[in-house]
Amino acid sequence: MLPRRVILACLLAAAPAPPAARAAALDDGVERTVTRGLDWLVRRQSRRGSWSANDGRYPTAMTALAGTALLLEGSTTTQGRHADAIRLAVDYLVSRSRVNGLIGDPKTDDRYTYGHGFSMLFLSQVVGEEEDERRREELVRVLTKAVEFAGRAQTADGGWGYVSAKDGNNFDEGSTTITQVQGLRGCRNAGIPVPREIIERAIAYIHKCTMPDGGVQYSSKGGGGRPAISAAAIACLFNAGEEDDTHVPRMLDYAEKHLGNIANNGFGHWHYAHFYYAQVMYREGGRKWEAYRDQIEKRLVSEAQAEGELLFWPQGYIGPVYTTATNLTILQLENGTLPIYQR
């Protein structure tokens, strides 16, 4: 018997099927892919509640990303198919909160600002659903300290680097900046105080890094336009409530030129780029989103690989947990379950 993945690919490629039937087959394929992908993540979770990348790297970031993918399914810490896994992930990340507010451990989380930002995002989506009052108060304390740490870690130019400004001699980099801003926005949506000046400085940083053609460069020091960082920067501005920012139109044009055709692999960090570009297109809505969604769903469904009855994505050098979590986030955006990803 052929593997389910092969059968699904044949269904998607079948020319005689009318458009409605093709759409139905794709929707069914996406749903089954998501279900089996989430089950794969749960099976890979450690007893402590964590996930990690290749060679055990980035445990804080991977746990937050995987936990967010599970939340998008509709489960919470107390209800739903993946409640146990989500609760374990929350417990793990809370245990990683340090006295200075950092969520993570510099000894085991190299480039620890990624884990910090993704953790703020994940935990901020959980806190409003937490039914236990003491637990909710603990989450509020953790997130309040996390916001304070993010403020202190911001560089003189308004961005963030792989580590705090102090630890990294004020080095900044676009992708980590976007991670912090999304996390801070999630916290603000959850009622955690976020000083406006932190966000304003981050917006100014993005403006500084935006080139005349709309591409966003690697850092405030230069590095050329990067499609992945450009898509992330647009998502960042949208999350900051800056949809009408005067930089956005040319940033969108640049992103569409490089990312509008999902078959284009001629740039680095494909999965990271579309993780954010999908968020941008979903926020845009309409026919542009529908056309993009159909492209990205077909590609992601066809690229999933089987592990028994489960599915995962092994592509990318960071590892399958990262790629699977980000792809599952893309495939579940229309669920509309998390405030940070809603229109």
Which pLDDT value is given to residue 102? 98
Which pLDDT value is given to residue 160? 96
> Where do the domains of the chain lie, and which CATH numbers do they carry?
4-341 (1.50.10.20)
Q: Find the angle CA(213)-CA(175)-CA(86) to the nearest 5 degrees.
A: 135
Which pLDDT value is given to residue 218? 84
Which pLDDT value is given to residue 24? 47
Which pLDDT value is given to residue 65? 98
Successive 10-residue mean pLDDT values, the chain, 343 residues: 38 38 60 97 98 96 98 94 97 97 94 97 92 91 98 96 94 91 94 95 92 88 82 86 84 92 81 93 92 95 96 93 97 90 78
Which pLDDT value is given to residue 5? 38
Cα–Cα distance between 336 and 289 in angstroms, integer?
A: 14
